[in-house]
Chains A and B, each alone.
Chain A
Amino acid sequence: MQLNDSDIQAIWLTVRLASVVTTILLVVGTPIAWWLARTRSRWKGPLGATVALPLVLPPSVLGFYLLLAMGPNGPVGKLTRALGIEALPFTFWGLVLASVFYSLPFMVQPLQNAFETIGDRPLEVAATLRASPLDTFFTVALPMALPGYFTASILTFAHTVGEFGVVLMIGGNIPGVTRVASVQIYDHVEALEYSQAHRLAAVMLIFSFLVLLILYAWRPNSRKG
């Protein structure tokens, strides 16, 4: 089975995108998940719903709004222009920004779950053992939520690998910049290159299966105090 250079380029780009997005979401998703898990604020509902939106929204709708926001007249577009950065649509970083929104629930929800499972008690114990709230987070909450981090990272990575609609809306189809594996398959099919499409599709299928296999088989036991 042979993949051609543009297939490999597309796979490499996909992996790079998913890695960058997962890393960014680990940093961005953690405080959001922590806040959602711990707050008694009345804003919990609205923020939770906003985070979950990409789960139900058609990717094209999300992509459309993000395109408008990043465009020359959108708020993000104005900001990037003021900072002297090129417009984000049809760039790798535009794709990253869009994917961060698109994959947000896949990071936040497992983390929120993990933090909720820990409960108040271990945090109270840490406080009575002289740990400040920040210290408690890094030495108790984070280690106890590791299984959640594992799940969240894998889901986020896999979900970003599989995205298609948002990519088309924001990134288009530029080889090496925004042409990810799912778009490449679409191109092959459009061009009636079924054997090429087959190979790449098989790679994606095996990848997805392996991800789920890892998730179900190797998942660290969620430990309870």
Chain B
Amino acid sequence: MDRITARFCINWPGFSFDLDLSLPGRGVTAIFGQSGSGKTTLLRCIAGLERAQKGFLSFNGDVWQNDRIFLPVHKRPLGYVFQEASLFPHLSVLGNLRYGLTRSKVEQKVSLDQAVELLGIGHLLERKSERLSGGERQRVGIARALAVSPRILLMDEPLASLDLTRKQEILPYLERLRDELEIPVLYVTHSPDEVGRLANYLVALESGTVVAQGLLTETLARLDLKISLGEKRGVVLDGVIAERDETWHLERVVFPGGSLWMRDRGSPLGCHVRVRVPSGGISLSLVQQEESSILNMLPGEVEAIGDDDHPANSLVRVRIGESVLLARITKRSAAALSLKPGLPVWAQIKSVVVA
């Protein structure tokens, strides 16, 4: 089984950091945390840009760092995307893309053409890198990192320096990366939206320690999750578009255990889609409401009840077949309905968004 095993211990003045991680060797792992949580430092340690006083790092069985070995950055088979694209100003776009390509001695798993096509930068190749917009620059930066045919891609908040429009411009490319490349991606971010949209696996950091790690769908559904997400609290469901209602412009997403109607976005039937169900958009009822505007009502069973950030609220975990939802309701309502584990309920879902 491909895995990344990382143990780092750092004691710098004003910053300490003690991590022991075992990350999956495939899919997108989001390293999530607020600034100062050590997420960028972790990524830099993995890349070898930072050297932890005590550390162990192995990638799919190859040791990159232990007490005796410290593989220099340029010998690690990785690709790195920095927060600012950091293109070389003295080279054209093509020159930037070729820089790593000509130095990479491994078999080309990702060809330059493929990277260019994947990021949609074919029309920019002859340009000077300073004549690109922020979003274009970041796409070139990602393509440049891919062109070395890395065995793992490290991304340090690749969207953080971009405005909302640019973010929306790049996110689809990142999704394509995730779906079309077979290399693991470590994705550092402080944005719950990006986590929900891209990640398969989640590592949450706080002040240099791991507060949660696991499969994203499972981790987000945990009641004891120690990360504060506020209004972003909710679960994600991976589903498939199964049906289209032309009359009302709706499409039905089937996930393990149920299905949800949502606005038609024109995706073809059978297309994979990830939806986010915010906890604040779910209400619970003991009986099925007959006359209601709410489109999505799913029968389920209360699995557990936990505390939310605010003392007035409870988070209720409701099992819907093989999936779970988290509903944020007031403690008063929970008491009025006498909610307890095992009780059958109807989850009324007011809002579903495509992650």
Closest CB in chain A relative to B324 CB, distance in Å = 39
Chain A residues lying within 8 Å of B72, measured Cβ to Cβ, are 127, 132
Task: State whether B145 touches A144 (Cβ < 8 A).
Answer: no
Contact flags B60-87 to A (C-beta < 8 A → 1, else 0): 0000000000001111001110101011
Cβ of B100 within 8 Å of any chain A Cβ, yes or no, is yes
User: Given contacts A144-B89, A225-B87, are A128 and B73 in contact (CB under 8 A)?
Assistant: yes
Contact residues of A: prevailing secondary structure = helix
Task: State whether B103 touches A128 (Cβ < 8 A).
Answer: no
Contact flags A192-225 to B (C-beta < 8 A → 1, else 0): 0000000000000000000000000000000111
Cβ of A42 within 8 Å of any chain B Cβ, yes or no, is no
Cβ of A122 within 8 Å of any chain B Cβ, yes or no, is yes
Interface residues of B in 6-64 (CB under 8 A from A): 47-49
A129 CA to B84 CA, complexed, in Å: 16
A225 CA to B74 CA, complexed, in Å: 21
Chain A residues lying within 8 Å of B89, measured Cβ to Cβ, are 144, 223-225
Residue in A closest to B137 when the chains form the complex, CB atoms:
A225
Closest CB in chain B relative to A115 CB, distance in Å = 14
Task: State whether B100 touches A130 (Cβ < 8 A).
Answer: yes
Chain B residues lying within 8 Å of A125, measured Cβ to Cβ, are 80, 82, 86, 88
Chain B residues lying within 8 Å of A133, measured Cβ to Cβ, are 74
Cβ of A86 within 8 Å of any chain B Cβ, yes or no, is no
Task: State whether B90 touches A144 (Cβ < 8 A).
Answer: yes
Task: State whether B99 touches A128 (Cβ < 8 A).
Answer: no
Chain A residues lying within 8 Å of B49, measured Cβ to Cβ, are 124, 127-128
Among B48, B105, B130, B148, the residue within 8 A (CB) of A129 is B148
Among B74, B79, B90, B105, the residue within 8 A (CB) of A127 is B74
Interface residues of A in 108-143 (CB under 8 A from B): 121-122, 124-133, 135, 139-140, 143
A133 CA to B86 CA, complexed, in Å: 18
Contact flags A48-63 to B (C-beta < 8 A → 1, else 0): 0000000000000000
Contact flags B183-221 to A (C-beta < 8 A → 1, else 0): 000000000000000000000000000000000000000
User: Given contacts A130-B74, A140-B88, are A121 and B82 in contact (CB under 8 A)?
Assistant: yes
Residue in B closest to A140 when the chains form the complex, CB atoms:
B88
Cβ of B276 within 8 Å of any chain A Cβ, yes or no, is no
With most chain B CB atoms within 10 A of its CB, the pick from A124, A130, A135, A140 is A130
Task: State whether B88 touches A131 (Cβ < 8 A).
Answer: no
A121 CA to B105 CA, complexed, in Å: 23
Size category of the binding interface on chain A: 20 to 34
A122 CA to B79 CA, complexed, in Å: 14
Count contacts on B: residues with CB < 8 A to the other chain: 26
A207 CA to B307 CA, complexed, in Å: 80
A119 CA to B346 CA, complexed, in Å: 58
Chain A residues lying within 8 Å of B103, measured Cβ to Cβ, are 129-131, 135
Chain A residues lying within 8 Å of B319, measured Cβ to Cβ, are none
Cβ of B328 within 8 Å of any chain A Cβ, yes or no, is no
Task: State whether A130 touches B88 (Cβ < 8 A).
Answer: no
Chain B residues lying within 8 Å of A124, measured Cβ to Cβ, are 49, 73, 80, 82
Chain A residues lying within 8 Å of B88, measured Cβ to Cβ, are 122, 125-126, 140, 144, 225
A191 CA to B87 CA, complexed, in Å: 61
A152 CA to B145 CA, complexed, in Å: 34
Cβ of B144 within 8 Å of any chain A Cβ, yes or no, is yes
Chain A residues lying within 8 Å of B47, measured Cβ to Cβ, are 128
Task: State whether A129 touches B99 (Cβ < 8 A).
Answer: yes
With most chain B CB atoms within 10 A of its CB, the pick from A125, A127, A129, A130 is A129
Closest CB in chain A relative to B143 CB, distance in Å = 12
Among A128, A144, A223, the residue within 8 A (CB) of B80 is A128
Contact flags B270-303 to A (C-beta < 8 A → 1, else 0): 0000000000000000000000000000000000
With most chain B CB atoms within 10 A of its CB, the pick from A127, A132, A144 is A127
A126 CA to B72 CA, complexed, in Å: 12
Cβ of B104 within 8 Å of any chain A Cβ, yes or no, is yes
A135 CA to B102 CA, complexed, in Å: 12
A11 CA to B75 CA, complexed, in Å: 53
Chain B residues lying within 8 Å of A140, measured Cβ to Cβ, are 88, 90
Task: State whether A121 touches B86 (Cβ < 8 A).
Answer: yes
Chain A residues lying within 8 Å of B80, measured Cβ to Cβ, are 124-125, 128
Closest CB in chain A relative to B7 CB, distance in Å = 22
Contact flags B76-119 to A (C-beta < 8 A → 1, else 0): 00111010101111100000000110011100000000000000
Task: State whether A129 touches B82 (Cβ < 8 A).
Answer: no
User: Given contacts A124-B49, A124-B73, are A130 and B148 in contact (CB under 8 A)?
Assistant: yes
With most chain A CB atoms within 10 A of its CB, the pick from B86, B144, B148 is B86
Please list the residues of chain A having a beta carbon within 8 angstroms of any beta carbon in chain B. 121-122, 124-133, 135, 139-140, 143-144, 146, 223-225
- Beyond known contacts A125-B82, A130-B148: 11 more, CB 8 A cutoff: A126-B74, A127-B48, A127-B73, A127-B74, A128-B74, A129-B74, A130-B75, A131-B103, A144-B89, A146-B90, A225-B88
14 A-B residue pairs with Cβ-Cβ distance under 8 Å, sorted by A, are: A122-B88, A124-B73, A124-B82, A126-B99, A127-B48, A127-B73, A128-B80, A129-B103, A130-B74, A131-B100, A139-B99, A144-B88, A223-B90, A225-B84
- Nearest first, the 5 closest Cβ-Cβ pairs linking A and B are A129-B100, A128-B80, A130-B103, A127-B73, A143-B90
